């Protein structure tokens, strides 16, 4: 097993899957993965807001943790279209995904906004899953490391080492995500995870060495087993290839088999 003792597998269903589809997916995934020990596996699903309550009723939190795809950073107020941390708590949400590339690059979120959300999520006892990643243009300009370090330092500003123990980070290069994405090569992903780890240790000392780092961006059944054994890749955050429970289960099993 890897040093952390746990491997992380999760999916964000983006703006797909309605309530019935989410419940069906979760029920299947729970049945398929029932024999897998949660001592070494952390399995999570991040569905649409409207599906969260039904999702919570159909799977126990210790088997499949549930997350929200976004969150406002105030408890209440004049924030039309935002969702409050209290509302997410009410439906049993454990994880809050923050700064996914689609939020940053399609919906215009900034590092400052991600930082407000990270701190709010920590205040409310959620696990913030902060997503970072460089665009294709930034990569071409040789700016990837600077971008990752900036997103970490700005996004985690004001977070203490004690709070950092509850953080998860996903490295999702923007150019690797989605239908037109090109998956990062295992060597490239490992190198960027090393840069991220170094920055986290710089920020939080020993606590930074223990923050789970997940890779995301066109993970598929072929590349998952190449990525998961690499140093500083503690898990995989998967989109399209995880949206069928059977396929997701096969990916998880093929990776766990390599780590045993
Ligand atoms: P894909 O695996 O479909 O590229 O999506 C990754 C992602 O955005 C996970 O949050």
Q: Which residues contact 102 (CB under 8 A, 6 or more apart)?
A: 14, 177
- How high does pLDDT run on average in the chain? 97
Ligand 1, atom 3, residue with closest C-alpha: 239
**243 Cβ below 6 A of ligand 1:** no
Tokens of residue 255, six digits: 């990776």
- Spatial distance between the Cα atoms of 136 and 169, rounded to a whole number of angstroms: 20
Q: Is 172 a catalytic residue?
A: yes
pLDDT of residue 5: 79
User: Is the alpha carbon torsion for 152, 153, 159, 164 positive or negative?
Assistant: positive
Measuring CA to CA, which residue among 93, 110, 103 is closest to residue 51?
93
Going along the chain from its start, the domains and CATH numbers come out as 7-259 (3.20.20.70)
Asked if residue 174 has pLDDT above 60, the reply is yes
Q: Cα(240) to centroid of ligand 1, in Å?
A: 6
* The pLDDT value given to residue 209: 96
pLDDT tens-place string over residues 222-238? 999 999 999 999 999 99
* Residue 100 annotated in active site: yes
Average of pLDDT values for 177-185? Answer: 95
- 240: Cβ below 6 Å to ligand 1? yes
Render pLDDT for 43-92 as a digit per residue (tens, 0 to 9): 999 999 999 999 999 999 999 999 999 999 999 999 999 999 999 999 99
Which atom of ligand 1 lies at the shortest distance from residue 12's CA? 10
Mutate to test the pocket of ligand 1, among 10, 11, 14, 223 (most ligand atoms within 8 A of CB): 14
CA-nearest residue, atom 2 of ligand 1: 239
């Amino acid at each position: 097993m890897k040093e952390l003792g746990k491997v992380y597998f999760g999916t964000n269903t983006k703006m797909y899957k309605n309530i019935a589809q989410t419940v069906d997916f979760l029920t299947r995934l729970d049945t398929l993965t029932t024999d897998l020990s949660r001592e070494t596996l952390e399995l999570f699903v991040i569905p649409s807001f409207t599906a969260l309550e039904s999702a919570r009723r159909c799977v126990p939190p210790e088997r499949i943790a549930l997350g929200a795809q976004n969150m406002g950073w105030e408890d209440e107020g004049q924030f039309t279209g935002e969702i409050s941390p209290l509302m997410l708590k009410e439906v049993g949400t454990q994880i809050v995904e923050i700064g996914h590339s689609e939020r940053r690059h399609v919906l215009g979120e900034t590092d400052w906004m991600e930082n407000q959300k990270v701190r709010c999520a920590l205040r409310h006892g959620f696990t913030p899953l902060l997503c970072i990643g460089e665009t294709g243009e930034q990569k071409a300009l040789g700016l990837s490391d600077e971008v990752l370090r900036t997103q970490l330092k700005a996004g985690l500003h004001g977070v203490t080492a004690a709070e950092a123990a509850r953080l998860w980070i996903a490295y999702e290069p923007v150019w690797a995500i989605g239908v037109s994405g090109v998956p990062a090569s295992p060597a490239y992903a490992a190198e960027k995870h090393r840069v991220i780890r170094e920055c986290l240790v710089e920020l939080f000392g020993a606590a930074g060495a223990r923050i789970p780092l997940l890779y995301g961006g066109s993970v598929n059944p072929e590349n998952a087993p190449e990525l998961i054994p690499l140093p500083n890749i503690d898990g995989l955050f998967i989109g399209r290839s995880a949206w069928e429970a059977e396929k997701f289960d096969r990916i998880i099993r093929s990776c766990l088999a390599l780590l045993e």
